[in-house]
Structure 1
């Protein structure tokens, strides 16, 4: 019976490698976002003389939004892989290895994730406010209200996650 238990435990432990293709998929998602970033920046440069100030700001905010999402993907890929699949031992001496790599636990990852979601939501909300002059009618203002409500919900969730983390004794 102990042999069956050991075999089952090894199977469970080995199943962590099923996550590896997921992290590879996130790398591909970053490539897609890079293409989207290039499209946005070329569109911005193409309309540099004809765009209004608010259109330029919205374009730059879109670039910042993509950068935040890509940063979030890097954090998720590195910390998720190291926490759940395998340690990246060969990279410990690499000069470009991020300082936080190997030190972000699951709780820290949740806090960084919700923080990034709040930042991304805030940028989307700011873009909507910058575009408010082009949005008339009850439906568009109702959409803006929903966006504010969702952003406040994300913000409240982030504060609650951080509070729970601190109460759990894991806060720094």
Structure 2
């Protein structure tokens, strides 16, 4: 009976596979939104103000970074929790595929969130006159919370890795 439940639990990891596939649909949705923004930009390229152009470009960068984050989560999550992705030797393979454990994935997600938040904050600062100073303060506080969280996660991960290393005790036997 115990072996049956253990096998059932182990095989239940495949329930995550459709979720990771769903993330690929989210990447498709981001791609559609990206090219919609590019189309709007090209239609208005000769009439758009420089500051507005920069805001649109920052939005495109934002979309691209979120897309990259989705790919990392989708592929690494699948490899870490469901099954190894077998790529033929003659096909191009992502250099990080198979090398990112859940700990390094967390760090990359945290760094990506900080980068995305930075771009969003820059967009807000470029249109700062449209915001109350109280709102700006809260945007900065939220961003700094992301920065501090990412830093603490990295620091705690470093401590955990150092604690996992065997310590060598030297004795002075003469």
Confirm or deny a common fold (TM above 0.5). Answer: yes
Aligned to 1:29: 26
Question: Does 1:7 find its partner at 2:4?
Answer: yes
Aligned to 1:123: 119
Return the offset for 1:95.
3.5
Return the offset for 1:131.
1.1
Secondary structure of the structure 1 residue equivalent to 2:161? coil
Q: Which whole-Å CA distance do the structure 1 matches of 2:141 and 2:64 have between them? A: 24
State the Cα deviation string for residues 101-154 of structure 1 (Å, max 9, x = none).
000001001000000000000000000111113x05xxx332221111110000
The count of corresponding residues between Structure 1 and Structure 2 is 163
Superposed counterparts of 1:1-172, under 5 Å:
4-89=1-86, 91=87, 93-133=89-129, 135-136=130-131, 140-169=132-161
Question: TM-score, normalized by length of structure 2?
Answer: 0.89
Secondary structure of the structure 2 residue equivalent to 1:169? helix
Return the offset for 1:21.
0.8
Using a 3 Å threshold, how does the CA distance of structure 1 residues 43 and 83 change in structure 2: closer, same or farther?
same
Q: Which whole-Å CA distance do the structure 1 matches of 2:134 and 2:16 have between them? A: 40
Larger Rg: 2
Structure 1 outlier segments of 4+, above 6 Å = none
Return the offset for 1:92.
5.3
RMSD of aligned alpha carbons: 1.5
Structure 1 gap segments, 5+ residues each: none
Q: Which whole-Å CA distance do the structure 1 matches of 2:41 and 2:123 have between them? A: 15
